[in-house]
Amino acid sequence: MKLALIAALAKNRVIGKDNQLIWHLPEDLKHFKKLTTGHHIIMGRKTFESIGKPLPNRVNIVISRNETFSAPGAFLVSSLDQALQKARPDSLPFIVGGAMIYKEALKYVTDMYLTIIDKDFDGDAYFPKFKEEDWAMLSESKHTKEGPDGFDYRFVHYQKK
């Protein structure tokens, strides 16, 4: 089974703070939508709560061990294994966060779509470390954001060797 992971991370691997994204990158949101539309997306409860609702035109699967948690419009499962079984009909389901789900899923992932932001940020959630030598970079596109608060970023597609 092919399995993709999609994430935006800072140079210091930060992906969020206080259950929120830290940066505002409209192009990254468009990139995320383009890649994930029509697919199953797998996320943890905190990620679902930060989004606030199921994302349209995708099958939303939420992992939570909290039996009283409700995710209207999404499938609720209690483990990554259950989420992967639910996503089996999809040719390329996506892991979309958060930090704990990324870490647990990394060993199963065949493709990573990363937005790497060329700046360090203060945060409390980090993308897991991975061995770059185990991955082949299939594509990279660099982008420059202008203005006083801008920063450079790049979209990178890795595939497991």
> Is residue 12 within 8 Å of residue 121, measured between CB atoms?
yes
Mean pLDDT by 10 residues, the chain (161 residues): 97 96 91 98 97 97 94 96 97 97 98 96 97 97 80 96 97
Distance CA(143)–CA(101), nearest Å, equals 28
The total of other beta-carbon atoms located within 10 Å of residue 43's CB is 25
pLDDT at 146: 63
Q: What is the set of domains in the chain, with CATH numbers?
A: 4-160 (3.40.430.10)
pLDDT at 67: 86
pTM for the full predicted model: 0.95
Residue 90, token pair as written in the block: 């999809």
* Cα–Cα–Cα angle for 30, 86, 95, rounded to 5 degrees: 35
Of 116, 159, 161, the closest CA to residue 7 belongs to: 116
Distance CA(47)–CA(74), nearest Å, equals 13
Residue at token pair 């639910």: 86
Distance CA(15)–CA(12), nearest Å, equals 9
pLDDT at 147: 64
pLDDT at 17: 96
